[in-house]
Every structure is written in C-alpha cells, then in structure tokens.
A and B are shown apart, each in its own frame.
Chain A
Amino acid sequence: MLELLEELFSYSFVVRAIAVGISVSLCASLLGLPLVLRRYSMIGDGLAHVGFGTLAVAIPLGLSPLKVSIPLVMLAAFLLLRIRESSKIRGDAAIAIISCSSLAIGVIIMSQTTGINTDICNYLFGSILAIKQEEVYLCIAISAVILALFVFFYNKIFSVVFDENYAKASGTNIEFYNMLLALLTAVIIVIGMRIMGALLISSLIIFPALTSMRVFKTFKSVIVCSSILSAICFFIGIVVSFAYNIPTGASIVATNLGAFLIFCLVSFIKGR
C-alpha cells in the first residue's frame, strides 16, 4: 500500500490531478447541497454536456479549453435558469434538450475534425492526465475564489434555499443567489470535467450532499460532512484508478457510490 502511494506521488501528473481534483471536489460538494435540495441536481449534468460541446469546438481551433469553456458554460447556466423561470418548457425538459443537443453537436464536430479517438473517451469518462502544468494554479485559484464566495454568502444561501418565498417577501434578491449558484456550478464543472469526464462530473455535485443527508440532519453538519467525504472519495478513487488502470471518473464515482451505500446502511441501523 505504502509503495503504491509512494509510486503514485512520484508522478507529477498524479500530484497535479490530486491537487486540482480535491479542491474541485470540495467546491462541487458545497455547491451540490443547495442544488440537490432545490431539485436542481440535473443542472450539473446538463452543463457538463454543454462543456463537452465547447471542448469539441475549442480543441480543433487550438484554443485553450478552459478559456473557451468557462464563459460558454456560464452562459448556458444563465440561459437554463432564465428558461426555468419564465417559459412554458419545464426546467427538467429544458435541461434534457440542451444537454443532449450539445453532446450531439460536440460529437459531430469532433468526428469531422479530430476524429473519434481516445481523446473523446477521455473527455467523456475522465483522465488522470488531463490537467496540464500551466493550468494547476488557475484551477486552484478559481476553486479558492468559489470557496470564499460560498463561505461569505453561506447564511444567505441557507435562507434562500430553505424558503425562497420567505426570502423574497422579506426583501432578498433571490435571482442574484440563484444566478450565483448556477454560475459557480458552471465554472466548477468545466474545471472538474477534465478529470471526471463530461458524463460523470455531476456525481461530484450530487453524491457527497446526498450521502451526508442520509446520516446528518442539520445544514452545517451536512456541509462539513460532504466536503470531507468528497475529498476522501476523490483521493481513494484516484488511487484505485491509478492502481488498476480504470478511467479516473468512473473509479471516483464508484467510490462515491460505495460511500453512499455505507451511509444508507448506517442510517438504516440508526433508524431501528
């Protein structure tokens, strides 16, 4: 076991993936709780597919994937929320349409430009090699900003999520907080999807919150538990991925699923 870890840390790409991955998981788990509680879970999935579409455009053009994807996915998040608020298409249907369409467009563009190759597999299911040296600091800095914003607005986010109508009646600008959550989610998804893959990134958002809610029943305890849990699961997942040569995203999701089942069991035993 120790030898494995030693070997693991001797590769700089692994260290990069772990550093970025843990900070991303942490942010994703924090943003995840409000999203899960407000029944917005699928927004992560939808935005990840949009992210895939934007990568398909950025890479053949030789542009930096992060710089193209982040603004475009933020725009998609903005539009998704607008649709949800106003139109006749229901929110979940709107997410489904946008997400399938961008995946399809992404695949079409890729097949015509770079061709269907292992790259696509990496984008869809994640790769431990995805984070480049020059991106590490940017990714960590963005995560730090998201973390700071979340902490600053923590109490306000709680009150808006718990009771939107009350918050609105007592003069809170709830559109601002909805938008803030959606935009931060968009950013974290673009960063995280390189490691986790477009199909699996939303698990980082949903799983920790859902898992912690099995056992913990106050907002603070759920937040603390899910952030710790997300980091642990990410680490275990990446070690397993390295040891058995499994796609990183899949291995991390499987670890999260394991944690979820354990928490379900604990909650079941506690309830008896």
Chain B
Amino acid sequence: MNVLSCRQISVKYESKFALENCSFELDAGSFLGVFGKNGAGKSTLLKSIAGIIKPNSGTLNLGIKKNEIGYMAQQTPVQKDFPASVYEIVISGTLCKRRYFYFYGKNDKKTADKNLEMLGIEQLKRKSFQELSGGQKQRVLLARMLCAEAKLLLLDEPASGLDIDASKQLHNILKDVNSQGVTIIMVSHDIQNTVNFCTQVLHLGSKYFFGNRGDYNAGIA
C-alpha cells in the first residue's frame, strides 16, 4: 500500500528554491533515509510532508489520514524551559484521535503507560521534561507519537546532540517501531551510521538519488 507519493514538489523561500522537483513514492513499512548537504532541502521536504509549509508546486498524496502523521524535529526554544511532566507529554499524543472531546479516558491512560514501558522510560513518568537528557527527551517524544498510533513518522535529525550510545539506542528503537509496520522517514547527516537500517534512500541536492538502499552508493556524499 502506498503511504506517500510526492510528484515534482518544489518549495521556494523568497525567490530561491529550497527544494526542487522532488519525486518519490513510499510503501507502508518502508524506512526512508533522507540525506544531502546542508541547504539541500531535507528539512523543507519533511515540513512539506507534515503540512507545516505548503509546497509552491507539485502534488503530495497521502495514503493515510492526516492525524496518523507524527513529526519530530530538533528541540524548539519553547520546549527548553517548558513545565511539563513526561506523562503529560506522552498522553497528549492520544488527543489527535479525538475530534470534539478532549479529556483523557481509561484507554488513553493505558496506551500512555504501555508506550512508556515500551520505550523504557516508565520510571521517568513523573519527571519534568526539562530535567531529562537529550536521549530521554527523544524517547518521550517518540512515545507520544506511538500514543497517537502514527503510521508515518517524520524525523528531522532525531539523533542530533545525542552521544554515540544514546543515538544507537534511539536507532534500535526506531528499527523496532519500523518492524511493527510503521513507515519512517528520517533526515540525517550521518549517512554511515543510519544508512544500514534504511530500506530506501533519498539523496537531495545536485546528485539526486532515490531508490533501494542496495543501489545507493554511499560514496555519493
């Protein structure tokens, strides 16, 4: 089943192209690595898919519902001193399944607990988000997306700022999540450590490439 198809997507900032004629299709359960130099349009592509910015031209078709998308980028300045417990953040993921009534029920609490446990952060439940390490924060945000039962995860440099161990852990978790049928699109500048568990690769920039990982020559970077 097709989760996403992009045809000739272009995004302009002022008069400069941030992303030009990007086309690809993705099946459910894929793990797409998006690589390329700074300014090649990796984050722009992700934001367009997420619906945060509107492409200037091209078509973007989703094979899933809008509320089945999960988006995670580098930490925003707002989140730095944000007073919120881990539990409050994780359970807020269940909200996007609701349409008119925004209170948490028993099932939502169960979902939150289940996902906290799955990501190994149940002991952090009552802790404040601002006191966590970078790797713990990323896991909290992942747990939130799992609570939303997201079918497509858009991750913008999820491992940035993490040490080697934490980023390995994060990658293992992503592999797990992916093996349960969740499609993942991950932007990364670290080709070496991430390309191995991608099923497909999209390389933006002058040496445009889209295809299976096996056909991708990592030397292209």
Contact = CB atoms under 8 A, between A and B. Distances in A.
Interface string B51-92: 110000000000001111111110010110111110011001
Contacts of A170: 66-71, 96, 148, 150
A156 B82 contact: no
A218 B83 contact: yes
Interface of A: 37-39, 152-156, 158-159, 161-172, 213, 216-222
B78 A166 contact: no
Contacts of A172: 95-96
Residue among A156, A162, A165, A170 with the highest chain B CB neighbour number at 10 A: A170
Given A38-B78, A171-B69, A171-B96, A220 B88 contact: yes
Contact of A158 (B92, B128, B130): B92
22 contacts: A37-B78, A155-B104, A156-B102, A158-B88, A159-B95, A161-B78, A162-B82, A162-B89, A162-B92, A166-B70, A166-B71, A166-B141, A168-B52, A169-B70, A169-B71, A170-B66, A170-B67, A172-B96, A217-B85, A218-B83, A218-B88, A221-B83
B195 to A, nearest CB: 25
Contacts of B148: 170
A161 B78 CA distance: 8
B26 interface: no
Contacts of B65: 171
Interface of A is mostly: helix
A90 to B, nearest CB: 15
Interface of B: 47, 50-52, 65-73, 76, 78-79, 81-85, 88-89, 92, 95-96, 102-104, 126, 128, 130-131, 141, 144, 148, 150, 154
Contacts of A162: 78-79, 82, 84, 89, 92
A163 B76 CA distance: 8
Given A169-B70, A219-B85, 7 more contacts: A152-B102, A162-B89, A165-B50, A168-B51, A169-B51, A170-B96, A220-B85
Contacts of B88: 158, 218-220
Contact of B83 (A38, A167, A219): A219
Contact of A171 (B67, B89, B103): B67
The 8 closest A-B pairs by CB, nearest first: A217-B128, A169-B71, A169-B50, A171-B66, A218-B85, A171-B67, A170-B96, A159-B92
A172 B88 CA distance: 18
B71 to A, nearest CB: 3
Contact of A165 (B73, B96, B128): B73
